Chains A and B, each alone.
Chain A
Amino acid sequence: MRRPSRGFAFLPALALFAILAGCGGGKKEAPRENAAAVPDVPAYGDMIVEGSIGDISGFLSAVTSDAASHEAAGYVFNGLVRYDKDLRLEGALARSWDISPDGKKITFHLRRNVKWQDGAPFTSADVMFTYRRMIDPRTPTPYGEDFRQVKRARAPDPYTFVAEYARPFAPALASWGMDILPKHLLEMYPDISKSPLNKKPVGTGPYRFVEWRTGEKVVYDANPDYFEGKPYIARVVTRIIPDQATMFLELLSGGVDIMDLTPPQYTRQTDTPGFKGSFNKYKYLASAYTYLGFRLSHPFFKDRRVRQAIAFATDKKALIEGVLLGLGQEATGPYKPGTWAYDPDVRKYPHDPAKARELLAEAGWKEKDADGVLRKDGRRFEFTVMTNAGNEARSKTAAILQQNLAEVGIRMRIQTVEWAAFINQFIDKRAFDAVILGWSLSPDPDQYEIWHSSKTGPKELNFIGFSNPEVDKLLEEGRSTFDIGKRKKAYFRIQEILAEEQPYVFLYVPDALPVVQKRFHGIDPAPAGISYNFPKWYVPKALQKYRIQP
């Protein structure tokens, strides 16, 4: 089971681009390629087979929490809003929205003439129903909190929906990317997770559900009545192939059309003329980063100079080379480079062991043992870094860091623990010195849960115990205004402070490495990845591989 960085994992509007899978195509028949000779005009038809590591667990994204299920829901359902190619919010089921001057009221103007896939019209009653179910204690959802912030919700007419908040809450807008559910099909089920719709969904999205064979595949057909026009690709099949090596072989033999490559597959196994003739490889920054986090109450790591020294001792370039085979970027803060909240000008920590030693000496770590380990007041600079088992990238990161730190006289032990045990026995109990973990990032820059000093309780996410009054204030400011200029200022300042304080050593942002069979055209890589315009992908008539009768 792939267990990537947790947190921010949920974002229904983004489900489509949580690309766990790939597309490609073509049986072993000589690549009918020769793209130059083929007229490149969009055409309806053909099928795309994507590989997915894990089976889905249901279609109602309110009650599921795995990436595969959210991606599946993205084919069938829509939210009121979604992220566009540049990761800015745009309307989906909502044509547009107004925010009142005081920021407390959001009015959504819904699209007219949108139909549920069973023919019933979509109206504001469906939005109201979805909202009510999100705050209903009988709905087993981990995502109800954003909707409990709503003080009052109204549906004054079939095409208007109003959400009023007690105070301005910027992440609220993105929370309306939640999949809107059909009231007429669900209102008779008090617990939506137990409704038939969780297995056989009916939505408003670009694809209609056809069949789900547990552990084997999920099939969708194009929705001819989709409000943005019928998607070109007639059928989507998600094949569940739990092993990545097997999936890659399926790709080579034409059994899978699109998947995500691993760095070794990207650099070493696909760099042949034959492969390049049949597939297009893509590479862009993933919305995630990996970090080394310190328990800040630890006597060694209380001292900012020590944390800075470790940052200087860390050879981020070597990490990217060694762990990602060069496929990634150095992280300098908790935002994805290139997004509006990302501040490129914060203090940087180039690999500089001399500077690291200097800072350590300043902090009192002067003497050295016979075996080269630093000492202060009779204590050796030894600590344990923990990470979750089964994540090869993180284990490799730990090994390289171990060597980096040994160079400056710090002995770091490595311990890997199974995910659930890691979280429950070590993270929750604060029984760690330092950890290597990752966050996946949502496009909204609000990171209140991770950095605010009120979020250090059990099961809360500021488990390193970071506390900085200025950051607290800025986090509150950033989430309480919709003004991008003001938010940007707050988040830039937060990044400056984090860069100075180094509560995490921000290590790297990996690349996403999807590969798609060449017959698929219309793919346009953007900051949001490649899947955002999936309904506009097509296969020119002459290149179509499968005949699909709907």
Chain B
Amino acid sequence: MLRFIVRRLLLTIPLLVGISLISFLMIHLAPGGPISIATDLNPRATADARARLEKYYGLDRPLHVQYARWLERMATLDFGDSFSPDGRPVAQKIRERIPITLTINVLSMGLILLVAIPIGIYSAVHRGSLFDRASTVFVFTGFSIPTFWLALLLMILFGVKLGWLPISGIGSLDYQSLGLAGKIADRARHLLLPVLLAGFSGLAGMSRYMRSNMLEVIRQDYIASARAKGLPERKVVYRHAMRNAVLPVITILGLSVPDLLGGSVIFETIFAIPGMGQLFYQGVMSRDYPLIMGILTIGAFLTLLGNLLADVGYALADPRIRQG
């Protein structure tokens, strides 16, 4: 088992380098560059100023030299400094954005599991029932409704008309002066709408997946024999069927590890949440190469790690994979 993991870990290194090379080339293919924002169509920026800025950021070097320098820094886990005028280290910029994105994603993922698994199971067991059909409509409404529109409607209702919830942001203006309990309550009030909405839009996938798993399992011979030996239906469903149906969900969770750190731009924009999605979007729009590369590399690493976790999970569950 250990050898399996070590081998897989070693394999990720060339993969990571390959991914970073492709990303690096891709972002340099995009028209414009980090200094365009400051200098394009700016009457006060002369060719001279432009050349100076290019030299300052090392953009005057050939592409392969730039990549080699980036790789060299990465080898010591140094993400470099952002090209944005604040010039802060990329690692620091990412670090300050991760907590809020992680919180929202973990909470909404938890919400999804909490709601989608029961819906999926119940729909499968009572296939074709009114509940099955109604829940299908419900989850697909969540899946297909434009989040930004629903978000605005909820903001108008709860924020403007009723005044129960804050509209946007992640903390009140007096957040700093609140006690711990006050801080938690304040943060919770701010996160309620975003988490609910993110959960609502993500229900469909998980609940449909759960439903089809459950349908698959219920058709198995061992369920028939469980029923045949006279077990009550509750026991058949919850002890024998459900466990087996839930198992693959764990794989899905492994694969969604990178999603936990990736924020949605639209979502964060509409709720004014300073998360990873906005950071990445701004990075791309201003061609902040070190920042883009940093986020992409972390994303690639987490994806590979998630794959590995899923494989290890499988290997633990299925001896055939371990031997192979």
Contact = CB atoms under 8 A, between A and B. Distances in A.
Interface of A: 1, 6-10, 28, 47, 49, 55, 57-58, 60, 63-66, 69, 137-138, 140-146, 148, 191, 193-194, 198-199, 213-217, 237, 239-243, 245-246, 249-250, 252-253, 255, 419-421, 423-425, 427, 437, 447, 449-450, 457, 459-461
Given A66-B37, A243-B270, A246-B168, A145 B173 contact: no
Given A216-B274, A246-B168, A423-B41, 16 more contacts: A1-B285, A6-B41, A142-B50, A142-B53, A143-B45, A148-B48, A194-B87, A214-B93, A215-B279, A241-B169, A246-B167, A249-B156, A249-B168, A420-B36, A449-B43, A459-B40
B287 to A, nearest CB: 7
Nearest to B171: A216
Contacts of A57: 84-86
A255 B97 contact: no
A139 B166 CA distance: 42
Contact of B43 (A55, A255, A450): A450
Given A249-B159, A420-B36, A240 B272 contact: yes
Nearest to A195: B87
Contacts of A142: 35, 38-39, 42, 44-45, 49-50, 53
A1 B36 CA distance: 15
6 contacts: A142-B53, A194-B81, A246-B167, A249-B155, A423-B36, A459-B47
A249 B160 contact: yes
Interface string B261-301: 00000001111101100110010010100000000000000
Nearest to B51: A137
Contact of B42 (A7, A47, A144, A246): A7
Nearest to A442: B43
A194 B89 CA distance: 10
Interface in B89-114: 93, 96-97
A6 B32 CA distance: 15
Contacts of A49: 173
B167 A249 contact: yes
Contacts of B167: 246, 249-250, 253, 255
A457 B47 CA distance: 10
B129 interface: no
B287 A215 contact: no
Contacts of B152: 245-246, 249
B313 to A, nearest CB: 35
A383 to B, nearest CB: 22
B97 A215 contact: yes
A272 to B, nearest CB: 13
Contacts of A194: 81, 87
Nearest to A145: B46
A419 B30 CA distance: 11
B41 A252 contact: no
Interface in B31-71: 31-32, 35-50, 52-53, 56-57
A242 B269 contact: yes
A143 B49 contact: yes
Contact of B96 (A1, A47, A214, A217): A214
Given A246-B168, A249-B152, A249-B167, A420 B274 contact: no
A237 B40 CA distance: 31
Nearest to B266: A243
Given A424-B32, A461-B43, A246 B86 contact: no
A142 B46 CA distance: 8
Nearest to A460: B47
A146 B44 contact: yes
B166 A421 contact: no
B37 to A, nearest CB: 6
B163 interface: yes
A273 to B, nearest CB: 16
A143 B86 contact: no
Contacts of B39: 65, 142, 459
Nearest to B151: A246
A284 to B, nearest CB: 24
A217 B272 CA distance: 10
B168 to A, nearest CB: 5
Given A193-B87, A253-B163, A420-B32, A246 B270 contact: yes
A457 B215 CA distance: 69
Interface string B226-240: 000000000000000
Contacts of B278: 215, 242
Given A58-B86, A66-B37, A142-B39, A246 B271 contact: yes
A10 B44 contact: yes
Nearest to B270: A243
A215 B37 CA distance: 19
B45 A237 contact: no
Interface string B200-227: 0000000000000000000000000000
A11 B173 CA distance: 30
Interface in B164-186: 166-171, 173
B53 to A, nearest CB: 6
Contact of B38 (A65, A191, A241): A65
Contacts of A240: 272, 274
B87 to A, nearest CB: 5
Contacts of A198: 85-87
Nearest to A9: B42
B173 A253 contact: no
B46 A64 contact: no
A446 B41 CA distance: 15
A28 B159 CA distance: 10
A445 to B, nearest CB: 12
Contacts of B30: 420-421
Contact of B40 (A137, A423, A425, A457): A423
B168 A250 contact: yes
Given A7-B41, A255-B166, A144 B49 contact: yes
Contacts of B84: 57-58
- Which of B169, B272, B275 is packed against the most chain A CB atoms within 10 Å? B272
Nearest to B172: A255
Contact of A145 (B48, B169, B170): B48
A423 B39 CA distance: 11
Given A10-B44, A215-B97, A420-B31, A145 B36 contact: no
B169 A239 contact: yes
A240 B31 CA distance: 28
Contacts of B155: 246, 249
Contacts of A193: 85-87
Contacts of A148: 48
B159 A69 contact: no
A423 B282 CA distance: 18
A530 B268 CA distance: 31
Contacts of A199: 86, 88
A153 B39 CA distance: 26
Contacts of B279: 215
Nearest to B53: A140
In this complex, which of B35, B41, B159 has the most chain A Cβ atoms within 10 angstroms of its Cβ?
Answer: B41
A456 to B, nearest CB: 13
B44 A423 contact: no
Contact of B274 (A60, A145, A215, A427): A215
Contacts of A9: 42
Contacts of A255: 166-169
Nearest to B52: A137
A532 B106 CA distance: 46
Contacts of A141: 49
B169 A6 contact: no
